[in-house]
C-alpha cells in the first residue's frame, strides 16, 4: 500500500494543509486539503479515486469535498468510474448540504448527472468491503457529532489505521490493533489539547502499548517529534509492503 499525505496540519495551524490522505491513488481519507491540486502534485489523478472515507464532519476534514465532486463532474472526459463516499450516520445529508451551500443546487444536478456516486453509512463495528478494500470502523470520542477511526486493509492484508480526531478511548485503541502503520493525530504538544484531541504524552503512551505499529504523527499544530514516530508533512509518500517488519 502507498500512503500519500495531502494535508498534515491541524485545523488552524500553519505547518500544513488540513487533513487529507490518499491510499494507492484510490482511497481518500478526509478532505480538508485542496485535494484536486495536491493530488496532481503527487502525480496521481482525482479520477482514480473510488472511495472517500470521512472520519467526521468538521470543516478541516470535509470542506474541500465539493471541489472534488466538481472536478469529477466537470472533467473532460467525465469521470467514468464509480465513487463511494462513506462515513458516519448523516454523511449523505451532510455532503448534499455542503455542495448546495457552497455551489448551489445546480451543482447537485451536475454531480448526479456526471458522477456515479453512492454512499455507505458506517458505524462502530462496521466491517465491510468497499472498492477492493476492507474497511473497519470504530467509534471514537471527539468534540461534536459522530466520529470514526478507520482500519483500511488491502487484498494482501496490509492494514493502515487512521485516528481521525479523538480523545483516548476504547475505540481508538481498537483501531490501532493489527495496523502496520497508524496515522495518528497529535494536535497538542506542551499540554493536553482542547476539543477532543490527543497530545504528545498520550500518543507516546499509545506507542508503548502498540510497539509493533509504526505511528505517523499528523494533524499537527507544529512539526515536532516523538522518538520512534514518523512525522507527516504534505506530500510525504510511504510504501508499506506485505513483508515489512
Domain boundary assignment for the chain = 2-235
In this structure, which topology does domain 2-235 adopt according to CATH? Metallo-beta-lactamase; Chain A (3.60.15)
Beta-ladder partners of 150 = 137, 162
Residue-level pLDDT at 51: 98
Collect all residues with Cβ–Cβ distance below 8 Å to 234 and sequence separation of at least 6: 5, 6, 7, 8, 9, 16, 17, 33, 38
- C-alpha span between 9 and 171 (Å, rounded): 23
- Condensed to tens digits (0 to 9), the pLDDT of residues 157-190 reads 999 999 999 999 999 999 999 999 999 999 999 8
Q: Which residues contact 24 (CB under 8 A, 6 or more apart)?
A: 1, 2, 154
- Predicted local distance difference test score (pLDDT) of residue 245: 43
Q: In the prediction, which pLDDT does 184 show?
A: 98
Residues of the chain short of pLDDT 70, as ranges, are: 243-245
Cα dist from 33 to 41, 73, 106, 194, 203, whole Å: 13, 19, 24, 22, 23
Global pTM value: 0.96
Give the 3-state secondary structure of 5-46.
Answer: EEECECCCCCCCCCCEEEECCCEEEEECCCHHHHHHHCCCCH
SS (H, E, C) the chain: CEEEEEECECCCCCCCCCCEEEECCCEEEEECCCHHHHHHHCCCCHHHCCEEECCCCCHHHHCCHHHHHHHHHCCCCCCCCEEEEEECCCHHHHHHHHHHHHHCHHHHHHHHHHCEEEEEECCCCCEEEECCEEEEEEECCCCCCCCEEEEEECCCCCEEEECCCCCCCHHHHHHHCCCCEEEEECCECCCCCCCCCCEHHHHHHHHHHCCCCEEEEECECCCCCCCCCEECCCCCEEECCCCCC
Report the pLDDT value the prediction gives residue 179, as an integer from 0 to 100: 98
Amino acid at each position: 500500500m502507498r500512503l500519500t499525505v495531502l494535508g498534515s496540519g491541524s485545523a488552524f495551524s500553519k505547518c500544513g494543509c488540513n487533513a487529507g490522505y490518499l491510499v494507492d491513488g484510490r482511497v481518500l481519507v478526509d478532505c480538508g486539503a485542496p485535494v484536486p491540486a495536491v493530488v496532481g502534485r503527487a502525480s496521481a489523478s482525482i479520477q482514480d479515486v473510488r472511495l472517500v472515507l470521512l472520519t467526521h464532519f468538521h470543516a478541516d476534514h470535509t470542506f474541500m469535498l465539493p471541489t472534488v465532486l466538481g472536478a469529477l463532474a466537470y472533467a473532460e472526459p467525465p469521470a467514468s468510474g464509480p465513487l463511494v463516499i462513506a462515513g458516519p450516520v448523516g454523511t449523505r445529508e451532510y455532503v448534499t448540504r455542503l455542495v448546495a451551500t457552497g455551489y448551489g443546487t445546480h451543482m447537485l444536478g451536475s454531480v448526479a448527472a456526471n458522477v456515479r456516486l453512492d454512499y455507505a453509512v458506517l458505524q462502530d463495528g462496521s466491517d465491510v468491503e468497499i472498492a477492493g478494500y476492507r474497511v473497519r470502523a470504530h467509534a471514537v470520542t471527539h468534540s461534536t457529532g459522530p466520529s470514526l477511526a478507520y482500519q483500511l486493509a488491502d487484498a494482501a492484508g496490509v492494514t493502515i489505521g487512521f485516528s481521525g480526531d479523538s480523545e483516548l478511548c476504547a475505540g481508538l485503541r481498537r483501531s490501532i490493533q493489527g495496523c502496520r502503520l497508524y496515522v495518528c493525530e497529535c494536535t497538542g504538544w506542551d499540554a493536553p489539547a482542547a476539543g477532543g484531541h490527543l497530545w504528545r504524552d498520550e500518543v507516546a503512551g499509545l506507542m508503548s502499548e502498540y510497539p509493533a505499529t509504526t505511528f505517523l504523527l499528523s494533524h499537527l499544530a507544529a512539526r515536532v517529534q516523538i522518538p520512534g514516530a514518523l512525522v507527516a508533512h504534505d506530500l510525504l509518500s510511504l510504501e508499506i509492503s506485505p513483508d515489512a517488519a
